[in-house]
Every structure is written in structure tokens, then in C-alpha cells.
Chain A
Amino acid sequence: MKATLQVINQMQADGVIGKYAIGGAVGATYYLEPSATQDVDVFVALTSRPGVPLLSLAPIYEYLTARGHKIEREHLIIEGWPVQFLPPSGPLEEEALEQAVETEVEGTVTWVITAEHLAAMALKTGRAKDFARLLQFVEAGALDATSLNLILEKHRLHEKWQEFELKFLRRDQP
């Protein structure tokens, strides 16, 4: 993983991408116990190219394939890890990327999305595995309630949180 991050950092230093942050199961592992995953989700701010009005993932693919990294379906294989690059799909993801926390992996700098943003993104996505991760966050006491509430309110996810709470966190149900 360190080698994977070094390649991504070099791509950032070369100006292909702007800020990036690890999300998904690997990002959650920063706060929780490790759980099996097949790929790395990397949220990435795309940089615009002169004369190209639309932001696209194409420069990432061009940069990495030119350096021998292979494409497998929606992933780029970087030093053994399938990596999926994801541009922010809305204000929540944009904020998550902006507020990502800086950390180090054996001397290599990287960024990870905050626990509260990961939780909000899981809530928004709403698949079974997202709810499972959300439960892990709650059970581990890894979420700051004030910060999470602000995010839920700002991104209108309170209703979804209440549904989640009712379904998974209520202790008085049969």
C-alpha cells in the first residue's frame, strides 16, 4: 500500500490531480479494525487542462497507463492494489475531500476522509455494506456527535439517519 500511495503522491506532485483522500473500506480502517476489501477508493480533485472545458479522469488513466499500470474494469492496478479514482459527486464529497485528515504510512504522507464524512457518505449511499460500516463506526464510538450532526444537517441527511437509527440502533424493539 505504501508503494501505491507513493505513485498517487507523485501523480499529485506532477500536477495530474489536486487534493486526494482515501475513502471506502480502506479509509474506514484508519478509524476501525481492518476488514477485508478488494480495492482502494480514492476521492480526487481533478485539475482542469487548458482548452479542455470538462473535468475528466482521462489524464489519470493516461498518466498511469503510460507508466505501466494496467486497467481492470473500473480500477487501475497500482503496485498490486486495484484503485478506483472517484471525483466528488456532490457537496458532501467535496467537503469530505477538503476536510480530509493528513496522516503518514511509513513515512509517506497521505490523506484520509474524516470518520464523520465517511459515515455520512455511507448513509447517503445506503447499501447493506454501507450500513454495516456505519454500525461499526457507531459501535466503536468513532464518531464525534457534534461534527456528525453538523454534516447531517448541512447535507440534509437527518431523515436518513433517523431511519438508520430506528432500524439498527433502537434497543427497545423486539
Chain B
Amino acid sequence: MTDWMRKVLESKRATRDRLRALPFAEKLKLLEKLRERSLWIAKSHLRTRKPPKV
């Protein structure tokens, strides 16, 4: 594993730890934001557009 990749993984782990340590109410607010975003993405015309015929 390269140093760069190791740093990326460490950073991801640190972010997960930080999020995990948040109070439940804060985590629920983040869940609401995540849900809003996923609904917005699902509604996007890019998502619902039919793929071109090959």
C-alpha cells in the first residue's frame, strides 16, 4: 500500500470515528440531510433519463 493510500484510509477512519462520536440528535440531523440529498438525486432528470440506444 502506498503512503498516499494509507493517508486516505486513515483520514476516512478518522472521519468515521468523528461522526460516530456525535450525539444521536446530531446524527439524526445528518441522516435527514442524507435522505434529502438521495431523494433529490433520485428525482434528477439525469437519473431518470433513458440510456441512449447503442
Contacts and interface: CB of A to CB of B under 8 A. Distances in A.
Most central of A34, A38, A103, A106 by chain B CB within 10 Å:
A34
Given A32-B20, A33-B16, A33-B19, A105 B25 contact: yes
Contact of A1 (B31, B37, B38): B31
Main secondary structure of the interface of B (DSSP, over half): helix
Interface residues of A, number: 20
A3 to B, nearest CB: 11
Main secondary structure of the interface of A (DSSP, over half): loop
A26 B31 contact: yes
B25 A34 contact: no
Given A34-B19, A36-B38, A140-B20, A29 B25 contact: no
Interface of B: 15-16, 19-20, 24-25, 27-32, 34-35, 37-38
